[in-house]
Amino acid sequence: MASGAAPDIQAIEDALNTLEQEATLVAAGLTEDQGTWRERPDSWSVSECLDHLATANEVYVRAMEPPAARALEQGRRRRRPALPGFVGGWFVRSLEPPVKPAFRGKAPQLIRPRQSPPLADALRRFLESQNLPRTFLRNYAGIDLAGVRFPNPFVRGVRFSLATGLHVIVAHQRRHLWQARRVREALAASNSQLRTP
């Protein structure tokens, strides 16, 4: 992000950078077998967590792009910080780790991970997909992100502000990187030779 970015925009950019580093760290030192290891048959591996995040980035930013482009064309300039409103803020907080039992559920079919994707490929996909929200930020930081809404790609009839969408992306990444770290910890507990980062 160019110097002089508004603090709220810079905070999202900084979070994306930090989450990239965390993803690299959670995958560091794992073999392909370890990267696709599951604690239980119905749980996800580290590679599946990363693959899920890559797909979610693609789907979410694709839904946000058309309303943002229209707002830019219409000259809907920034009026307030890119922060979620009351309902959007509640939803963002519900995604943050540690994940509470009441907020656990199956991922929508649209963003389910591939089954046991190679760890190196899943990490590469995630890191590359981070360019999507980052580019979105750079292209649309000057519009009214808190005032322009987009259709939620997973829940018909629900619309969030673009600002909420950006915060959802970040919170969702924190949620599943937390999950990936827990998988790695469980793997370490079952294999005393593996050190957790």
d(CA 47, CA 27): 8
| Owner of token pair 């994306």 | 16
Q: What is the mean pLDDT of residues 149-161?
A: 90
Write the pLDDT tens digit of every residue in 40-84. Answer: 999 999 999 999 999 999 999 999 999 999 999 999 999 999 999
Q: Say if 196 falls within a structural domain.
A: no
Domain that holds residue 17: 7-190
- How many domains are there within the chain? 1
Q: Say if 181 falls within a structural domain.
A: yes
State the pLDDT confidence band at 2, using cuts at 50, 70 and 90: low
| pTM (two decimals) | 0.91
Q: Say if 72 falls within a structural domain.
A: yes
What's the pLDDT at 192? 61
The DSSP annotation for the chain comes to --TT--HHHHHHHHHHHHHHHHHHHHHTT--HHHHT--SSTTS--HHHHHHHHHHHHHHHHHHHHHHHHHHHHHT-B--S-S---HHHHHHHHHHSSSPPGGG--PPPGGGPPPSS--HHHHHHHHHHHTHHHHHHHHHHTTB-TTT-EEE-SSSTT-EEEHHHHHHHHHHHHHHHHHHHHHHHHHHHHH-TTPPP-
Q: Say if 195 falls within a structural domain.
A: no
Q: Say if 1 falls within a structural domain.
A: no
* Position 194 pLDDT exceeds 70: no
Q: Say if 35 falls within a structural domain.
A: yes
CATH of the domain at 89: 1.20.120
State the pLDDT confidence band at 132, using cuts at 50, 70 and 90: very high
